[in-house]
């Protein structure tokens, strides 16, 4: 697919998707979501990609939400279909076997914060602003925001953001656990890529197992979560990567992980 609304690059095992509609502050329209979906298809089938980073073009906005001009044309059924489409495509970020990092370089509003919430964690620039302004448009978050935000920052803080539609700055987002790190705009991408490279050097099998254990465990009680962890642990033990990891430690060298399940 020829991309017009995103830039999709892969360098040394790290894929970067840049939302690229800067004149509309990178707002999500149907076409952009289709392009994102196509890029995720490529990522899922490319064994060489170890980490995905999402960011926005320019220095003002990550994603300023769904495209309001497009939303305004929808009838009830089209609204529901667009919401499901966004939920399914954004939900794929969580389902990806590889880690996904959001580098939020400005506004992350509505569908934009919902996109970031489906990533494994968020780094933000100092000028980033986070919010769910849908209530001021007479709607509610429709790409998973009412579900993922309370799970991350607690229901009371999430309700305050959802009910008021107010934005919070990056520093406050870090304080409440929405964002892992706040960086100057100029160093956001390099810091994100540095973390991505560190993760990419780890074993693929154990990264996948760790992501699945955390994600699947969040939906069940603690005892069931620990069983999920034990199963994921067993998969790692069966992998060539785990043999290489302990061999390398004993031989006092860096491990060369191949991402292989069996020898
Ligand atoms: N959609 C379309 N265009 C947008 C959007 C958007 N979400 N946000 C900004 N733009 C456009 C503006 O219209 C403007 O275009 P133009 O230059 O042609 O007039 C350009 O981007 C620059 O924006 P501003 O001039 O407004 O820039 P400011 O710095 O003054 O303000 C803000 C920046 C505060 C980010 C402001 O643009 C704003 O409030 N934008 C809207 C944010 C918003 O409400 N987002 C939520 C949208 S709803 C949503 O995401 C629901 C998701 C689930 C959908 C479920 C489907 C049914």
Q: Which fold has domain 204-250?
A: Lyase 2-enoyl-coa Hydratase; Chain  A, domain 2 (1.10.12)
State pLDDT tens for residues 131-186.
999 999 999 999 999 999 999 999 999 999 999 999 999 999 999 999 999 999 99
- Produce one character per residue of 215-253: b if its CB has 16 or more CB atoms within 10 Å, e if not: eebeeeeeeebeebbeebeebbeebbbbebbeeeeeeee
Q: Would you call 240 a catalytic residue per the annotation?
A: no
The residue whose CA is least distant from atom 28 of ligand 1 is 25
Q: Are 137 and 145 in contact (CB under 8 A)?
A: no
Average pLDDT of the residues of the chain? 95
Cα 59 to chain centroid distance, Å, stands at 19
The residue whose CA is least distant from atom 8 of ligand 1 is 64
Answer yes or no: is pLDDT of 222 > 80.
yes
Q: How many CB atoms lie within 10 A of CB 71?
A: 21
How confident is the model at residue 209, as a pLDDT? 95
State the Cα–Cα distance between residues 262 and 63, nearest whole angstrom. Answer: 41
Which residue is catalytic, options 59, 134, 240, 251?
A: 134
User: Is the beta carbon of 142 within 6 A of some atom in ligand 1?
Assistant: yes
Q: Would you call 263 a catalytic residue per the annotation?
A: no
Centroid of ligand 1 to alpha carbon of 3 (angstroms): 22
How confident is the model at residue 157, as a pLDDT? 98
Q: Which residue has the tokens 């006092």?
A: 252
Q: Are 105 and 185 in contact (CB under 8 A)?
A: yes
Enumerate the CATH 1.10.12.10 domain ranges in the chain, comma separated.
Answer: 204-250
Average pLDDT over residues 227-237: 95
- Confirm or reject CATH 3.90.226.10 for domain 6-200, answering yes or no: yes
- Phi first, then psi, for residue 106 (nearest 5°) are 165, -140
Task: Give the confidence band of 261 by pLDDT, cuts at 50, 70, 90.
Answer: low
How far are the Cα atoms of 96, 97, 100, 202, 219 from residue 51, in angstroms, in the given order?
Answer: 10, 9, 6, 11, 24
Task: Give the confidence band of 263 by pLDDT, cuts at 50, 70, 90.
Answer: very low
Centroid of ligand 1 to alpha carbon of 25 (angstroms): 7
State the Cα–Cα distance between residues 112 and 64, nearest whole angstrom. Answer: 6
Answer yes or no: is pLDDT of 64 > 70.
yes
Enumerate the CATH 3.90.226.10 domain ranges in the chain, comma separated.
Answer: 6-200
Average pLDDT over residues 4-28: 97
Task: Report which ligand 1 atom has the smallest distance to the Cα of 74.
Answer: 57
Q: Are 143 and 83 in contact (CB under 8 A)?
A: yes
% of the chain at pLDDT higher than 90: 93
Angle, alpha carbons 174-179-185 (nearest 5°): 90
State pLDDT tens for residues 174-212.
999 999 999 999 999 999 999 999 999 999 999 999 999
């Amino acid at each position: 697919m020829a991309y017009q609304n995103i830039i999709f690059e892969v360098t040394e095992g790290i894929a970067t998707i840049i939302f690229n509609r800067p004149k509309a502050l990178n707002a999500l329209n149907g076409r952009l979501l289709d392009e994102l979906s196509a890029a995720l298809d490529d990522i899922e089938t490319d064994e060489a990609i170890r980490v995905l980073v999402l960011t926005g073009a320019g220095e003002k906005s990550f994603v300023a939400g769904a495209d309001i001009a497009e939303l305004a044309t929808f009838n009830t059924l089209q609204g529901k279909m667009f919401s499901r489409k966004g939920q399914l495509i954004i939900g794929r970020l969580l389902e990806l076997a590889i880690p996904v990092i959001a580098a939020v370089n400005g506004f992350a509003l509505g569908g934009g914060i919902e996109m970031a919430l489906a990533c494994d964690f968020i780094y933000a620039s100092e000028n980033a602003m986070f919010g769910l302004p849908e209530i001021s448009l007479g709607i509610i978050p429709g790409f998973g925001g009412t579900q993922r935000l309370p799970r991350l920052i607690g229901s009371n803080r999430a309700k305050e953001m959802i009910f008021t539609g107010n934005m919070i700055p990056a520093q406050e987002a870090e304080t409440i656990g929405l964002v892992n790190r706040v960086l100057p705009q100029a160093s956001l991408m390099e810091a994100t890529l540095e973390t991505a490279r560190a993760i990419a050097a780890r074993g693929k099998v154990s990264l996948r197992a760790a992501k699945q254990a955390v994600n699947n465990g969040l939906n069940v009680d603690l005892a069931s979560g620990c069983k999920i962890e034990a199963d994921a642990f067993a998969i790692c033990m069966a992998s060539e990567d785990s043999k290489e990891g302990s061999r390398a430690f004993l031989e006092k060298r860096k491990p060369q992980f191949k991402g292989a399940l069996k020898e």
